[in-house]
Amino acid sequence: MNLTRLEFTFESAVKTSFKMSTVTSKLAKWELKKICPLLNHAKLCLLFKASVHGYTFDAFNHKCNLQGPTVIVAYNKSGYVFGAFTSKNFAQTGQNVVDEKAFLFSFNERQMKEDPLRVVSGNPQFSFFDIGPNFGSLIFLHRNTATIHSDPAGAYKFDPLQMHGNDLALTECEVYRVEEAGRLMEIPWRLMHWDSDKRKALLNTISDWKPSVSSVKQARILLVGPIGAGKSSFFNSINSVFKGYVSTQANTGTAGTSLTTQFRSYSLKPSGDVKHVPFSLCDTMGLEDEANNGFDVDDFVSVLKGHVKDRYQFNPAMPLQPDSPYFHKSPELKDRIHCVVYVIDTSKVKILSNKMIESSGFFGGKPTS
Contacted entry of Mg ion, ligand GTP, none for residue 233, CB cut-off 5 to 8 Å set by kind: ligand GTP
Lay out the site mask for Mg ion across 223-242 (x = CB under 5 A, - = otherwise): --------xx----------
Q: How far is the CB of 8 from ligand GTP (least distance, A)?
A: 9
Packed helices 231-243 and 2-20: angle between N→C axes, nearest 10 degrees: 110
Residue 104 in 3-state DSSP? strand
- Measured from the CB atom, the residue of 176 and 342 that comes closer to ligand GTP is 342
Contacted entry of Mg ion, ligand GTP, none for residue 241, CB cut-off 5 to 8 Å set by kind: none
Residue 62 in 3-state DSSP? helix
CA distances from 205 to 41, 239, 251, 266, 276 (A): 42, 17, 29, 21, 11
Please count the other Cβ atoms lying within 10 Å of the Cβ belonging to residue 316: 18
The region of 2-10, 61-69, 266-274, 321-329 touching ligand GTP under the rule CB under 6 A is 2-10
Q: Read off φ and ψ for residue 206, nearest 5 degrees.
A: -70, -45
Lay out the site mask for ligand GTP across 218-257 (x = CB under 6 A, - = otherwise): -------x-xxxxxxx------------------xxx---
Lay out the site mask for Mg ion across 244-283 (x = CB under 5 A, - = otherwise): ----------------x-----------------------
Q: Are 137 and 151 in contact (CB under 8 A)?
A: yes
Q: How far is the CB of 6 from ligand GTP (least distance, A)?
A: 9
* CB burial string 209-226: b at 16+ within 10 A, e below: eebeeeebebbbbbbbbb
Lay out the site mask for Mg ion across 184-223 (x = CB under 5 A, - = otherwise): ----------------------------------------
List of residues 6+ apart from 185 with CB closer than 8 A: none
Residues between 3 and 32 that touch ligand GTP (CB under 6 A): 4-5
- Measured from the CB atom, the residue of 127 and 232 that comes closer to Mg ion is 232
